[in-house]
């Protein structure tokens, strides 16, 4: 049921073979998790020792910017944007309303003292350091793109499909769209002396090590990325919506990987390993694969692109007067293509009509839409929106369950009360 490109699945198998042959690195990946992968791939081999988890530490939540309750719902160390708070904000999401997903807490870093260390056997020379001024000397580019958590809308697995997934119970607000400006990662890697034998990069954040409540220390947030994506459209962003990158969003520099799951866009970037052998971290073995009855025991291939969704700029369980003509507004987005159609149902899915589209949002960003509605009879009602993108894909009625609740793409049934 996975829609991941076959190339990524075979790349992942190759990674595993290389690891078994002692040619791939897996620091900080639980031994049990690699054994699981090995067993599932039907491979028999001795697993190197020394992969045990480190001792536990402590981590508190901590987001720097204000989180007014009319704009955010706080879930532990994370803040979800209220989708209704996007109404009237224009195409991009103001920093003040942009969701925050922190594994630990926002570190306060000094841009003047900051350095990015690029290192590894995938460089022709040795390690290289880049200051912010060095990055600014590269030709700046702007990417208009959403950052969306892979688990966005996870809570609807429970409320609509009766199967709860583990993880932050996001509704649809773990997304925001911004203009991100910075240096092309490809330019910086070339300046660092990229070898044509490099296959993976591993960007890593400067925030605290991630320690779970049961004491497993996963180390600093890091996730490998194939060199093909790194050289394609990824940037080292130092500006968001025309201002310096704010503390909660990665100050002074974050990676920005358009269309890919949010975890690919590593914040508070400290170093990037460039490797001639495939790399693993818990973020491409344990996390960010699809596990569950519909998937193989080792899970799907590591997640790459986000999926297709839409939402109303209206609170869940909003009350609307039955006698007024309302203008229902919302947004739709896809990581695969531009949004070409949004249909709305105000009768629980019995009949549908096309909404008006207000943007030519490209793949990896979103499109605003609206439709008028005069509810009439008082009582409970369900509003549905259903997006289609330029690949011809339409949001389905249900999403095949995965245990960590990633990539929910089904039509959301949005309850309201007509008064």
Binding site for ligand MTE (CB under 6 A): 98-103, 147, 149, 205, 207, 221, 249, 262-263, 265-268
Q: How far apart (Å, rounded) are the C-alpha atoms in residues 267 and 269?
A: 5
Residue with tokens 């920005």: 256
Residue among 150 and 384 whose Cβ is closer to ligand MTE? 150
Q: How far apart (Å, rounded) are the C-alpha atoms in residues 27 and 30?
A: 9
Return the one option of ligand MTE, Mo ion, none that residue 218 interacts with (CB less than 5 to 8 A, by type). none
Residue among 209 and 359 whose Cβ is closer to Mo ion? 209
Return the one option of ligand MTE, Mo ion, none that residue 143 interacts with (CB less than 5 to 8 A, by type). none
Residues 311 to 350 in contact with Mo ion, rule: CB under 5 A: none
Return the one option of Mo ion, ligand MTE, none that residue 169 interacts with (CB less than 5 to 8 A, by type). none
Chosen residue from 20, 123, 147, 149 binding Mo ion by CB under 5 A: 149
Per the structure block, which two tokens stand in for 256? 């920005």
Residue 302 binds Mo ion, judged by CB under 5 A: no
Closest separation in Å from C-beta 228 to Mo ion: 22
Q: How far apart (Å, rounded) are the C-alpha atoms in residues 225 and 12?
A: 11
Residues 74 to 103 in contact with Mo ion, rule: CB under 5 A: 101
* Cα-based angle 379, 382, 385 (whole degrees, multiple of 5): 150
Residue among 149 and 342 whose Cβ is closer to ligand MTE? 149
Residue among 237 and 416 whose Cβ is closer to ligand MTE? 237
Residue among 299 and 375 whose Cβ is closer to ligand MTE? 299
Residues 359 to 398 in contact with Mo ion, rule: CB under 5 A: none
> How many residues line the site for Mo ion (CB under 5 A)?
4
Residue among 93 and 329 whose Cβ is closer to Mo ion? 93
Q: How far apart (Å, rounded) are the C-alpha atoms in residues 268 and 210?
A: 14
Closest separation in Å from C-beta 407 to Mo ion: 11
Q: How far apart (Å, rounded) are the C-alpha atoms in residues 95 and 102?
A: 15
Is 382:414 a contact under the CB 8 Å cutoff? yes
Return the one option of ligand MTE, Mo ion, none that residue 207 interacts with (CB less than 5 to 8 A, by type). ligand MTE
Return the one option of ligand MTE, Mo ion, none that residue 267 interacts with (CB less than 5 to 8 A, by type). ligand MTE
In the shown chain, the binding pattern of residues 247 to 266 toward Mo ion, with x for contact by CB under 5 A and - for none, equals: ---------------xx---
Residue among 120 and 262 whose Cβ is closer to Mo ion? 262
Closest separation in Å from C-beta 103 to ligand MTE: 3
Q: How far apart (Å, rounded) are the C-alpha atoms in residues 364 and 307?
A: 9
Binding interface with Mo ion (CB under 5 A): 101, 149, 262-263
């Amino acid at each position: 049921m996975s829609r991941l490109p076959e190339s990524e699945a075979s790349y992942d198998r190759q990674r595993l073979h290389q690891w078994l042959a002692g040619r791939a690195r897996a620091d900080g990946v639980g031994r049990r998790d690699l054994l699981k992968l090995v067993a599932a791939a039907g491979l028999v081999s001795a697993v190197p020792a020394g992969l045990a988890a480190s001792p536990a530490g402590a981590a508190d939540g901590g987001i720097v910017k204000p989180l007014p309750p009319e704009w955010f719902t706080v879930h532990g160390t994370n803040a979800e944007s209220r989708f209704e708070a996007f109404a009237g904000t224009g195409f991009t999401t103001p920093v003040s309303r942009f969701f925050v997903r922190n594994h630990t807490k926002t570190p306060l870093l000094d841009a003047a003292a900051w350095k990015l260390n690029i290192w590894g056997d995938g460089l022709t020379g040795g390690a290289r350091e880049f200051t912010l001024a060095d990055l600014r000397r590269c030709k700046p580019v702007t990417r208009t793109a959403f950052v969306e958590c892979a688990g966005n809308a996870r809570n609807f697995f429970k409320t609509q499909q009766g199967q709860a997934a583990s993880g932050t119970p996001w509704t649809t607000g773990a997304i925001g769209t911004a203009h991100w400006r910075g240096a092309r990662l490809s330019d910086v890697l070339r300046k660092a002396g990229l070898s044509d034998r490099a296959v993976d990069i591993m960007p890593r954040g400067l925030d605290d090590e991630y320690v779970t409540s049961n004491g497993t220390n996963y180390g600093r947030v890091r996730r490998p990325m194939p060199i093909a994506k790194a050289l394609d459209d990824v940037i080292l962003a130092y500006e968001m919506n025309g201002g310096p990158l704010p503390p909660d969003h990665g100050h002074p520099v974050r990676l920005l990987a358009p269309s890919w799951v949010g975890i690919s866009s590593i914040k508070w970037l400290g170093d990037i390993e460039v490797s001639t052998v495939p790399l693993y971290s818990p973020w491409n073995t344990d996390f960010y694969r699809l596990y569950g009855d519909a998937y193989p025991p080792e899970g799907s291939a590591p997640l790459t692109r986000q999926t297709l969704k839409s939402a109303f700029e209206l609170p869940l369980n909003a009350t609307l007067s039955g006698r007024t003509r309302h203008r229902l507004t919302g947004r739709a987005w896809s990581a695969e293509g531009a949004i070409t159609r949004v249909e709305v149902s105000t009768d629980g899915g019995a009949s549908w009509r096309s909404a008006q589209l207000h943007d030519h949002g490209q793949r990896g960003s979103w499109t605003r839409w609206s439709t008028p509605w005069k509810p009439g009879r008082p009582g409970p009602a369900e509003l549905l929106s259903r997006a289609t993108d330029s690949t011809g894909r339409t949001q389905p009625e249900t999403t095949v369950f995965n245990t960590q609740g990633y990539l929910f793409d089904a039509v959301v049934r949005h309850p309201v009360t007509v008064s």
